Amino acid sequence: MTDQIQQGEVVGAGLAPPWPPNERSGQSDAPEDTARPPNERSGQSDAPEGTARPHTIVVLAHDRHGALDRIVGVLRRRRAKMEAFALGRNELPNAVRITIVTNDSEVEVEHLVEQLRKIVDVQHVANLSSKQTIARELVLIKVNSAEAQQASEIIELGHLFGAHVVDVTQQTVTLEVTGSEEKVEKLVNLLQSFGIRELARTGCVAMTRGEEGI
């Protein structure tokens, strides 16, 4: 995959995407709004206070040099309040699927979607509602287990959440779990009492329910 990101690599939940230090050619495809104060986004003044909520945006784009930079550039200029950013292949050749979870108002998300659609490499953009979305993330959790009894308790707890054991040592147990953000958060909180040594989350990936795609 181009854009200095290996195939299947993702940026996990809560982490900032790899903003380029300087804008690159092609970012002018989605012009930045200039007729507003520097700390205010377009449409921000139209959004009532307290209306922000999570939105799941799926972007299908050509896998070409500079495409990801242009998409990230729009997210940066729009100051999108991202909670997750996941990138990977999809069913189309020479294309990538990007899932973005952002906590914004409906007005601000609509402006962001409009800007993303203007990018020449973007094939399709969809703002998915919670009712029509299947959302999952993959998590690897390495937990301290100095005693055999602790390892058994960790494995049993993981099984209650559908987790699989992927590695066991004398000092640690590593679990793999896939599910909703709520499910993952609950398991992580329960494992905190054992001591989590390392945690890796992919961030959310999503698609629509039923037969129709985005």
Q: What is the CATH number of the domain that holds 89?
A: 3.30.70.260
If we measure between CA atoms, which residue out of 132, 140, 160 comes closest to residue 201?
Answer: 140
pLDDT at 131: 82
**Mean pLDDT of all residues in 153-169:** 97
pLDDT at residue number 51: 73
Q: Give Cβ neighbours of residue 150 (< 8 Å, ≥ 6 apart).
A: 144, 194
Distance from the Cα of residue 202 to its chain's centroid: 7
Q: In whole angstroms, how far apart are CA 135 and each of 96, 148, 188?
A: 18, 35, 18
124, 139: one domain: no
CA 14 – CA 136 distance, rounded (Å): 15
In a domain, 33, yes or no: yes
Angle at 102 between CA 101 and CA 103, to 5 degrees: 130
Give the HSE-up count for residue 59: Cα atoms under 13 Å, Cβ half-sphere: 29
Residue 111 and residue 164 in one domain: no
Determine the Cα angle at 45 with ends 43 and 50, to 5°.
Answer: 105
Q: Tell whether 18 is covered by a domain.
A: no
Comparing 185 with 26, the larger pLDDT belongs to 185
pLDDT band at 129 (very low <50, low <70, confident <90, very high): confident
Boundary-marking domain end, from 79, 107, 128: 128
Q: Are residues 119 and 139 in the same domain?
A: no
- Residues 123 and 186 placed together within one structural domain of the fold: no
* pLDDT confidence bin for 132, thresholds 50/70/90: confident
> Could you tell me the end-to-end alpha-carbon distance of the chain, in angstroms, rounded to an integer?
23
Q: What is the mean pLDDT of the chain?
A: 82
Average pLDDT over residues 166-193: 96
Task: Tell me what the mean pLDDT of segment 153-158 comes to.
Answer: 96
With beta carbons less than 8 A apart as the criterion, state whether 118 and 33 touch: no
Spatial distance between the Cα atoms of 190 and 194, rounded to a whole number of angstroms:
8
Tell me, yes or no, whether 141 and 124 share the same domain.
Answer: no
Give yes or no: residues 145 and 164 share one domain: yes
Looking from the CA of 37 toward its CB, the CA atoms found within 13 Å total 4
Distance from C-alpha of 17 to C-alpha of 85, rounded to nearest angstrom = 7
| Top-confidence residue, 45 or 147 | 147
What is the pLDDT at residue 118?
A: 96
Structural domains counted in the chain: 2
Domain that holds residue 197: 134-208
Judgement on whether residues 74 and 154 belong to the same structural domain of the protein: no
